[in-house]
Amino acid sequence: MDKCLTEEDDKDANFSSKKMSSLKQANKARAPEKSIFRPSINETIRCIEQTFTIIKKIPDSQKIQKTKAETNGTENKNYSEKENATEKENVVEKKKVAEMENVAEKYRKYEVERQSTKTKHLKTKKAKKIKIEEGKHLLRALLIKIRDSIQYLDRRVKITKLVTSWVQDNFRILFFKLWDGTGTCLLNIPLYTIEWTIEFFVTLFVTVKKLPKWLETVFFGNSLHDAAMKGDLKICHELVSKGVSIDALDRWERTALYYAVISHGLDVTQYLLMKGANPNAKPRYLSETMLQAAAMDGCLDICRLLVAKGATINATALYYAVSFNKVDVTRYLLENGANLNAKHLVYSDIPFNRETVLHTAVRVATLEICQLLVAKGATVDALDSGDRTPLYYAITLEKLDVTRYLLENGANLNAKHLVYTDIPFNRETVLHTAVRVATLEICQLLVAKGATVDALDSGDRTPLYYAITLEKLDVTRYLLETGANPNANCAYVFRHSIVKCRLLHVAARQGNLDICQLLVSKGADVNCLNSNEETPLMIVLKNYLSLRRQCTFWQIFGKNPVSSRNHPQNHLAIAEYLLKNIGVSELKKDVEDKYKKYLYLIFQNKSFED
């Protein structure tokens, strides 16, 4: 392009120079004419040059077409480039969509595989469980068959071949049932132990000719035990007819009759008793007798069968019937002569852990059974090994209806019993017990029935003492209204020594203003002395100063508050109340001034001497 432009410029310059020379020659040849204005040559040349420069600036048609073509080409190029870019973007997006679809398809396949493996795992687990159960049943049947074959087949027959051939046939089935390819049984028992057990049974009979008693039912008990537990009368009849011992014992020394009783099998129980089963056979390890088991479950028909066949009725079967609230069985045993006042063990063979059935009925049974026992002649004031009466248990368990019934039937209100242990000086009346652990209603019932309000326990403490120490305001008010002595002597332990005092000393030491006001209003002596020659006021002030010294400023005045019993202000209020009742209306000025001086020292947790 640049070369073309320069050539055209040279042509234009040559054309202009030739034209100028021709014009000069024409001017010389032509005659001069007169004119108004004639420009000089230099001016004309300048004008011509200016026109040529203007003409040069104006583009010609070829140049315009070229520039248009060039612009159209660039535009086409840009448009094609844009189209290519959009096509590339579309291709990339399509690739991304395809990749996402592949990922989603892989995830779907993974989910399907996971679900299938899960279902397969559950199926295999279930199948394994079923296989284990089948193996257990087969193993059990195998061992029982071996035992019964050894025990009951004719001894003169060559039993070894019969048993071993039967074992070999069944052991193959057992092997395939339990074998999982790992060398161990699915029951977590090595197969060689099962094989060794079977061989042990066979060789033991061959050598000893008789199984020992402990090994007769070493695994699952006698087959008669199993039939009795299931209540299968037909199998029991077949086994007994083949010579199976009715009184054969398992490892716990239980007979088949015991299993028939606990499984409530009335027909099997009747059949075994008819065949001569012992109804008084007692298992080992503190297990109950058959009559006790039947009474516990409330099986009245089985109890009648056992008693009719000679079961011992006084073997504390009544205790089990009462303990489990079996009214019908209790009534039946009482009608057939059960001992009401026999003392039995409550939990174990500890000799001082004995009580009567009335004690048991009051503790765990209903009022109906208590009424039934008392109506049949149970001793209302019978003592257990802790010298406690049934009334004591009725009060401690807050059974108001049972307490009222025992009192109506002549229970002793003032009998002293042991509180916790067999220590001889740890005795109290039922009113002491009611004040300690029961409600106001039971206390009112006892007092209305004639309980001594000022009765003393082994520590010379009245029921009012326990009401004050336990801060039972309603019980304290009731006892004072019914005539309790507010000036009764008592004792409490203070710094490893016993201090003999009055009830007001105890209330002042407790820091209970309401109880102090009750005692003083009922005539308590404000100036009484204890064994340390201290009045209630002195005890209150001592407690006030010691608590004030122990408590911080924030514990007394709001933050981290202490309990009302240990709050110094509470003891100070009791001191002011006692001072008013002594005759002094307010604190003297000199004492008040000293108190203000020492107040800062007390807050700083320092003593007066410091």
DSSP 248-310: ---TT---HHHHHHHTT-HHHHHHHHHTT--TT---STT---HHHHHHHHT-HHHHHHHHHTT
Residue 525: inside a domain: yes
Averaged pLDDT for residues 406-411: 90
303 — pLDDT class (breaks 50, 70, 90)? very high
Task: Indicate the SS3 state at residue 45.
Answer: helix
Q: Give the Cα separation of 53 and 185 in Å (integer).
A: 115
Contact 58, 51 (CB under 8 A): no
The answer to the question of residue 446 being in a domain is no
Whether residue 364 is predicted with pLDDT greater than 80 in this model: the reply is yes
Q: Of 238, 361, 231, which is closest to residue 299 (Cα–Cα)?
A: 231
In a domain, 558, yes or no: yes
**Strands 489-493, 498-502: parallel, antiparallel or unpaired by DSSP?**
antiparallel
Rounded mean pLDDT, 592-596: 52
Model confidence band, residue 587 (pLDDT cutoffs 50, 70, 90): very low
Higher-pLDDT residue of 603 and 125 is 125
Of residues 239 and 16, which shows the higher confidence score? Answer: 239
- Higher pLDDT pick, 601 / 413: 413
- Residues facing 498 on adjacent strands: 493
Judge whether 581 lies within some domain.
yes
Q: Choose among 316, 359, 321, 362: nearest CA to 339.
A: 316
Range of the domain at 602: 515-610
d(CA 354, CA 556): 53
Q: What is the pLDDT of residues 430-454, one digit of tens each?
A: 898 899 888 899 999 999 988 889 8
Q: How confident is the model at residue 77 (pLDDT cuts 50, 70, 90)?
A: low
Q: How far apart are CA 307 and CA 587, in angstroms?
A: 83
Q: Cα dist. 382→165, 402, 436 in Å?
A: 68, 15, 23
Please tell me the distance from the alpha carbon of residue 329 to that of residue 332, in angstroms, as a whole number: 5
- The number of beta carbons lying within 10 Å of the beta carbon of residue 405 is 18
Least confident of 196-205, 369-378, 423-432: 196-205
Answer whether 215's CB lies under 8 Å from 248's CB: no
Q: Tell me whether residue 5 is exposed, middle or buried, using C-beta atoms within 10 angstroms of its C-beta: 0 to 12, 13 to 18, 19 or more.
A: exposed
- Rounded to 5°, the CA angle 425-430-434 comes to 115
Contact 431, 452 (CB under 8 A): yes
In a domain, 579, yes or no: yes
Alpha carbons 319 and 313: distance in angstroms, whole number: 11
Query: What mean pLDDT is predicted for residues 574-580?
Result: 73
Average pLDDT taken over every residue of the chain: 70
Give the lowest-confidence range in 70-74, 360-364, 447-451, 583-587.
583-587
Say how far apart CA 123 and CA 1 lie, in whole Å. 88
Question: 509-518, 531-540, 580-589: which range is least confident on average?
Answer: 580-589
Residue 533, in any domain of the structure: yes
> 422 lies in a domain?
no
Look up the pTM and report it: 0.56
Count of structural domains within the chain: 1
Q: pLDDT: is 117 or 594 the higher one?
A: 117
Whether residue 564 lies inside any domain: the answer is: yes
